[in-house]
Structure 1
Amino acid sequence: MTSPTSEDLATQVRLLSGRDNWSTEAVEGHRPVVVADGPHGVRRPDADQLGIGSALPATCFPTASSLAASWDLDLIEQVGAALGRESRARDVDVLLGPGLNLKRHPAGGRNFEYFSEDPLLSGRMAAAMVRGLQSQGVGGCLKHFAVNNQEAGRMVVDVLVDDRTLRELYLTGFEIAVRESAPWTVMCAYNRVGGTYCSDHRWLLTDVLRDEWGFDGVVMSDWGAVNDRAAAVAAGLDLEMPTSGKAFDREVVAAVERGKLDAAAVERSVARLARLAERAESAVADGLAGADDAEAHHVLAGRAAAAGTVLLTNDGILPLASPGRLAVIGGFATRPRYQGAGSSQVTPTRLDTALDAFRDRLGDDTRVAFAPGYALDGSTTDTLVEAAVAAARDADVAVVFAGLPGAYESEGFDRDHLRLPDGHTRLVEAVVAVNPRTVVVLANGAPVELPWADRPAALVEGYLAGQAGGSAIVDVLLGHAEPGGRLAESFPVAAEDLPASAAFPGEPRQVRYLEGLHVGYRFHDTFAVPARFPFGHGGSYTTFAWSEVEVNGAGQRFTVSVTVTNTGERAGSEAVQVYVADVDATVHRPAQELRGFAKVHLAPGEAERVHVDLGPRAFAHWDVERRDWLVAAGTFEVRVAASSVDVRERVRIEVDGESEVPASPHRPEPLADEATFAAMFGREVPDADPVLPLHRNSTLDDLAATPLGRAVQPLLARAASRAMLGSLHEPDAATRRMFATILRESPLRSLVLFGQGRPSLAALDRVLRVLDLQPSRRRR
């Protein structure tokens, strides 16, 4: 192969970054590829801007936390196909989603955009959505690869996680989605893993993603996530997004000319981008022009919202039958919290409210009173509470809509605690005190602490249910639809119970995963620490009988079969969950792990034989020494369950495998101490990076470490805001807080990248050397 000329090389390198904020360069005669934010709706801005302002209307489907609670892969694929049709109708070639980072801790600010605390459920949900998207000729984009489990410091934080935990928890979901859906693209995360930025991480992007899992698509950066583009191209990153004004081009060309970067790596990335463009053009050629059937998609969004609604408790009050006098309480009934804040924010085609739906469904036969109960920020007053109490006291049934305001959970920052706003808690307790026939409906993207959970007559988790959520929740409450959801995450009694709380979100530049495998139900079930509501939990309006459980097979492949019968008088659905426990384990393992599931829908009296396959990975653990999956021969227990704590049948089987498996130190504690973590980590645990000297990845906050840096900090903050957003104004409190946090925590190279090369990287380096001349004693 001949070396490219300098002109050819410069042209090729130019293709490896965006043309603008939302499209690629035209590669090898193909048209540019257009991308748009997702994943629960198409956010196509009406101008080439990065802010969260105006965007073209699109169906706002329930967020991932709600969709995952359905446990229904067919439904998720239908939602994905609808998103594909809407993307194609808006000339979007790649939708930036789904997100499937694992929910390490419930306080993660972006957890509403992710599926589950379990990698199997996350991976299969993501694969279903990608299959739906790509059936319509629109590429999926798995994000954020990898180990992006917090918002705090996400652009610079170094995640230290042991290899076994990394493989078994944080990479497995991505592996499943890659293997089962062949996504067109994968997006790398901002953070570092083991000291290396994800954009530069050859082991992640090439050794694992491409060589091991067989991914053949384009790896793109998160917006502004590229640390060193020459290193990134060598690692396997194909596309820098958005445009940076070609700020890195000179460095990439110089790296090739000096022999530090193989020109073939540049050519491979160009070829992958050309293939992506071919895929997008083929979709149009195949007649997949898209369809914007707003009414049909709104109906689908409502069906998905009901399927993800979880009946947490119910003393029999639900479904509501002829409520007579109904008090609807809470501002979310008229101004719903239906989606998360941040880049996934969608302009809905319409928006249903619960109060309107109640009045429409109940008509004149029921008197429906309303009291707001709290302000938009979650606070309340004596007057608001007194009015709500009066309405509840005068009603046969009270329905309180409570949860988390948008400013409590968002991309860009993590939650400060797991509690509801004080105003919401005060309102719930006051209403329940005067009317025992009170139903509480929650709107939140992730678990919350619920110390009063046993006091209402019923407690319903509605999650962030999308634009049709208001009417869908009412249909569930009235029995026109079933509460089809089962929790895809554990609700702890208190955040302090969780071992991850000890190191969440960690230091500004480093977080150590001291809890290892003990995340979610793996922690609760292993150490007998009850969750408020366990993983997989959810009630129904009908009853089910499980019978004739069998496990057939041999070696390392088995099929679990169970007959599920609807023994009630209403149609309903059940999530059959299959957990596996290693009875003879010589290595430390969680008490049990989800290894398969199936969703079954049954009419009254109907029965169905459900089958769940278990392959070698159902029994394997990651062997650190061999760097491979290993199945230890011995006895395993297969548990057929309705939740992680509601086991209906246990069957012991003998599994073939390695007979000589080195024992690992038993871990009696859920949280590793420093010595244990060092042993798990397998190499020297580095200290967190010092603040000084300043460098390209120093943050705006870090500038306060020098006198001159403190002086220029406000000027650079304003410049960064203009470069990243185009203005200092954003429409709501959550978005304003998100961008303010991102600006403070962004690496200074973002000034160059979002400023489209102005100032240049070389100029930034010179400025940093000057700022670093007068260090103060302040260190972090």
Structure 2
Amino acid sequence: MANAFRSEAGAIVTQMTITEKLDLVCGNGLWRTTGVPRLGLPSLLMVDGSNGLRVVPDQISTDPQNADLGAFLDAVDTTDDPESRDSNVLLGKSVPATCFPALSVLANSWDIELAHEIGEALAIECRAAGAQILLGPGINLRRSPLAGRGFEYFSEDPILTGDMAAGVIRGLQDKGVGASLKHFACNNSEVERISMDSVVEPRALHELYFLGFERAIARSNPWTIMTSYNRLNGIQTSQNPWLLRGVLRGRWHYDGVIMSDWHGIQDLPAAVKAGNDLDMPFNAARRRRLESAVLNKKVPEAALDQACTHIAALTLRIMDAQRRLPVSRPDFATHHDLARKAAARACVLLSNQNNVLPLTPEPGKRLLVIGTGAVLPEIQGAGSAAVRPIRCDIPLDCLRITAPDGISLHWEPGWGEDGNHDAHRQGAALAAARTAETVIVFASTPPCISGENADRPDLGLCPAHDRLITELTKIHDRIVVVLTHPDAVVLPWANNVQAILSAGYAGAGLGQAVADILFGHTNPSGKTSVTWPVRPEDCPAFLGYPGEQGTHLYREGIFVGYRFFDIRHIQPLFPFGHGLSYTSFTYAALELTTGADDVTVRFTLSNTGARTGWEVCQLYLGRTPTAPNRALPHHPLRALKGFATVCLEPGESRVVDMTLSRRNLAYFDTVRDDWAVPAGEVSIEIGASSRDIRLSAPLHVTGDATAARWLDPHTPPGQALEVPGVQDDLVAWLAGVTGQGIAGTETLLASCRRSFLGIYDTLCWSFGLELDEIRLTQILDDANRRSGARKPGHCPDHSSELDPS
């Protein structure tokens, strides 16, 4: 946050009473801050939704009654009702707004500028609703496709996640609306989400689960960050000083507001001391406990002042931005066109055997559309992210409008409105398929089985949908399946249909986007943002999901998503970064130019087909596996480090430049408790997916010096004697103690090197004496100081602010 706002905010806080400070850090009703009107700080209104606004008018007043449990549960209800379903609404009380693709779908575009456009449109609608903060985007990694909120998150990869999130955030804040980057951190399941302990090793935390947040913060400076419900390695995230003051404030120098998820704080005094600034929503009991702790000096007033300063600075910043950045009233027709464009760019053509797509039926031919989803499409997920769309494209209507003249287009529901098997409807669909040139099936996962507070029970589509598709494959050889789903799904019939188009939760523009792709008016360009497994057992998190006895072990460590599939040599159903096009691209002339702190990667991309198309060029860093008999850090065989989304006309070529920073070459060294670059040979790879590498070149990396290992009496002597100075100190000490002389001591000490026992036990055994362990420890401590070694478990203070506790 700009120093000008921080300084002015600090001056305002000095004028506040204790009561005003306590009010400022506690919410006002469900969706507002309290503000301090007498000092020029108005209340701020927050609204839900990363893919569109969810504003429920009767919940945004400041009446404390609207902060009760019932109102809160209404806000996150994942259930549906017939009236809402009939109008494609998951939360019928909300004010109508544009429903853009879910973030999981938007990520399939790999287009940061498109994300920025959507962020701007969201900001315009926010400001029309009187809101100053949008509670999104969510960027937890899609670690398991079972996670109920997976559709709210971008990807299994932190680079794609962080960059796309930064695009949305910049779009919002460029129009004067604050973003709230969430949920920090490791909110990867909805099972027991307020109490589950996510247990994650340090490398996985920093290299995966933190990296998306770190990257988004560095590239967009979100004005607020929301903590998650879960515990992280034993401590509630909103009450974790290491996480908030050490990592977020210290390592990353974040200076915005840290707020809780709704009712996510269990101990408000501990949260304020840890660095959580704002408790949402208002809760009288929590406020009373904080007041008592402040008055009894259990929470330093300095900690309360820090929280108030952050909130006041945010308020001043938003006031300034909305004065400087006037916006017009929302043009909902234009926003709907943007929703269509985003859906079309983000739908992924997963398979296209014999180029069955695009459809080019001749006049008089008959097309059959099957599925209730063609008339009642699932365009979004349930819960706090649900939007009441101001307008929604119905796929069947759009197909009829878009189909060429003279084409007969017939629809059969295929199954019941609830997605379950209906023998009569299945029979009618199969009968109609026998006379159709092409069959288009709209298949989906069961409605309302996942969302906020509800993980998916399995990875299947509705059983009736799988059953009908399987029966169709026995009688027809031109079957196109359009999928709506929250995350990756298993498709037992995948090899037996001719084309599969993944739409996911593509928002209100789904219908026209799908029609345009199927009939070739739009060239599909989406690429998968997660790996699709053949079966659930192939998923990296399978053995540890969703935890037990309140503990969720992230057993796969750094091997999340495609990293796991690669290291285990598992063939996915569809790899990360995969997506087909109606044109073709070639990659050529890879060049690497090494600078002082980075590597420039250059290659030529050419459109060798007959259609204009977008291609997502993916830059990976490849490494050779660590030898199994050496205790060295393991690395993924391949890790995404950057990408470029390029549009080319037929026959056009373009030179594409990307840059690898030294940080891109690093891993998180747990000995240093910091990033380090390992020395050696790596491979720079350019791919059309993680399993379709088109170009590669070796790169020799000059690494950082190996971090010194901490020495103690239990360290094996072979390791201890490699540290400069240790042998000389030991020889001088042991020669004096034993009387064997320098030469004899050196000879005996050399024989100790191969011992796997600790150095103290080895020396006592070898020299036949019970040696002074205190003196040995002093020698080893001297070596630790000289080498800068860090004791295991010691975390240095990275805090940029004095811890007021």
Alignment match of 2:649 (pick from 603, 612, 615): 603
Match of 1:506 among 532, 544, 547: 547
- Native 8 Å contact 1:186 1:218 kept in 2: yes
Alpha-carbon offset, residue 272 of structure 1: 1.3
- Deviation of 1:518 after TM superposition, in Å, equals 1.6
Cα distance per residue 1:180-218 (max 9 Å; x no partner):
100010000000011111110111112111121121111
Correspondent of 1:452 among 468, 474, 493:
493
Equivalent residue, structure 2, for 1:313: 351
Task: Please say if residues 378 and 405 of structure 1, whose CA atoms lie closer than 8 Å, have aligned partners that are also in contact.
Answer: yes
Q: Give the whole-Å Cα distance in 2 for the aligned partners of 1:639 and 1:541.
A: 24
Alpha-carbon separation, structure 1, partners of 2:112 and 2:162: 11
Q: Deviations over 1:118-156 (max 9, x none)?
A: 011101111111001111100111000000000001111
Which of the numbers 470, 493, 508 marks the counterpart of 1:429? 470
Q: Secondary structure at the match of 1:276?
A: helix
Contact 2:403 2:519 in 1 (8 A): no
CA deviation string 1:485-536 (max 9, x = no partner):
0001000011112241111001151111111112110001111011110001
Counterpart of 1:250 (choices 275, 288, 311) is 288
Instruction: State the secondary structure of the residue aligned to 1:102.
Output: coil
The answer to whether structure 1 residue 653 and structure 2 residue 664 are counterparts is no
Matched, 1:167 2:206: yes
Contact 1:632 1:661 survives alignment (8 Å) = no
> What is the aligned-residue RMSD (CA, Å)?
2.0
- Partners of 1:363 and 1:537 lie apart in 2 by 30
Q: Which residue of 1 aligns with 2:220?
A: 181
The range that moved more, 621-630 or 492-501, is 492-501
The answer for the alignment partner of 1:202 in structure 2 is: 241
Q: 1:590 aligns with which of 636, 640, 645?
A: 636
SS at match of 2:168: helix
**Structure 1 residue runs without a partner (length 5+):** 665-681, 685-780
Identify which of 1, 26, 41 aligns with 2:35.
26
- Pairwise CA distance, 1:19: 1.0
1:39 aligns with 2:50: yes
Distance in structure 2 (CA, Å) of the matches to 1:271 and 1:505: 39
The one-letter amino acid paired with 1:593 is A
Give the drift of 1:6: 14
Q: Does 1:14 align with 2:55?
A: no
In the alignment, what sits opposite 2:678? 632
Q: Is the 8 A contact 2:419 2:447 kept in 1?
A: no
Q: Which residue in 1 is equivalent to 2:429?
A: 388
Q: Structure 1 pair 373/663, CA: closer, same or farther in 2 (3 Å)?
A: farther
Deviation at 1:375, TM superposition (A): 2.1
**2:25 alignment partner AA:** L
Q: What one-letter code is carried by the residue in structure 1 that aligns with 2:28?
A: R
Matched ranges for 1:366-385 at <5 A: 366-385=407-426
In structure 2, the CA distance between the partners of 1:333 and 1:555, relative to structure 1 (3 Å rule), is same
Cα distance, 1:683 vs structure 2: 7.3
Task: Tell me the CA shift for residue 173 of structure 1.
Answer: 0.3
Q: Which residue of 1 aligns with 2:483?
A: 442
- Where do 1:524-603 residues align within 5 Å? 524-583=565-624, 586-603=632-649
Q: Percent identity, aligned pairs only?
A: 41
- Aligned with 2:25: secondary structure? coil
Equivalent position of 2:787 in the other structure: none
Counterpart selection for 1:279 from 317, 334, 359: 317
Cα deviation 1:583-612 (Å, max 9, x = unaligned) = 486411111100111100111111111111
**Matches of 1:69 and 1:83, distance apart in 2:** 19
Q: What's the counterpart of residue 141 of structure 1?
A: 180
Partner Cα separation in structure 1 for residue 705 and residue 277 of structure 2: 43
Match of 1:730 in 2: none
- The CA distance in 2 between the partners of 1:7 and 1:577, in whole Å, is 52
Q: Does 1:643 align with 2:689?
A: yes
Does residue 74 (structure 1) correspond to residue 83 (structure 2)? The answer is no
| Contact 1:84 1:136 (8 Å CA) reproduced | yes
2:192 counterpart of 1:153: yes
Shift of 1:634: 1.7
C-alpha distance in 1 between matches for 2:505 and 2:339: 12
2:326 to 288, 313, 324: 288
- Distance in 2, matches of 1:623 and 1:661, equals 8
Cα distance 1:339–1:663, how it changes in 2: closer, same or farther (>3 A)?
Answer: farther
- Matched residue type, 1:319: P
CA distance in 1, matches of 2:328, 2:199: 43
SS at match of 2:403: helix
Give per-residue Cα distances to partners, 1:213-263, cap 9 Å, x unaligned: 12111111111101111111111111111111x322232222223332110
> Could you tell me which residue of structure 2 aligns to residue 60 of structure 1?
99
Q: Distance in 2 between matches of 1:517 and 1:360?
A: 48
The residue matched to 2:302 in structure 1 has which SS? helix
SS at match of 1:389: helix
Alpha-carbon contact 1:318-1:479 (below 8 Å) kept: yes
Deviation at 1:103, TM superposition (A): 1.0
Query: What CA distance in whole angstroms lies between the structure 2 residues aligned with 1:524 and 1:400?
Result: 30
User: Do the aligned residues in 2 keep the contact of 1:16 with 1:270 (CA within 8 Å)?
Assistant: yes
**Which residue of structure 2 aligns with residue 690 of structure 1?**
none
- Which SS does the other structure have where 2:700 is aligned? strand
One-letter amino acid matched to 1:354: P
- SS of the counterpart of 1:549? strand
Give the conservation status (yes or no) of the 8 Å contact 2:625–2:635.
Answer: no
Amino acid of the residue matched to residue 270 of structure 2?
A: A
Offset at residue 363 of structure 1 (A): 6.0
Give yes or no for the alignment of 1:616 onto 2:662.
yes
Q: Distance in 1 between matches of 2:548 and 2:305?
A: 39
Paired with 1:181 and 1:247, the residues of 2 have a C-alpha distance of 36
- Within 5 Å, give how 1:322-337 maps onto structure 2: 322=361, 324-337=365-378
Note the 1:121-136 alignment, pairs <5 A. 121-136=160-175
Instruction: Give the Cα separation in 2 of the matches to 1:281 and 1:352.
Output: 37
Post-superposition CA distance 1:595-638 (Å, at most 9, x none): 11110011111111111110012111101111100001221111
The count of residues paired between Structure 1 and Structure 2 equals 665
User: Which of 346, 349, 360 does residue 390 from structure 2 map onto?
Assistant: 349
Aligned pairs for 1:47-126 within 5 A? 47-48=58-59, 49-50=71-72, 51=74, 52-126=91-165
* Residue 661 of structure 1: how far off its partner (Å): 5.7
Matches of 2:610 and 2:128, distance apart in 1: 42
In 1, Cα distance between the equivalents of 2:298 and 2:41? Answer: 30
Find the aligned partners of 2:270 and 2:244 in 1 and give their Cα distance: 12
Does structure 2 retain, via aligned residues, the 8 Å contact 1:88–1:290?
Answer: no
Alpha-carbon deviation of 1:450? 1.0
Match of 1:220 in 2: 259
* Equivalent position amino acid for 2:697 in 1: V
C-alpha separation in 2, matches of 1:95 and 1:231:
26
Partner amino acid, structure 1, of 2:324: D
Shift of 1:409: 2.2
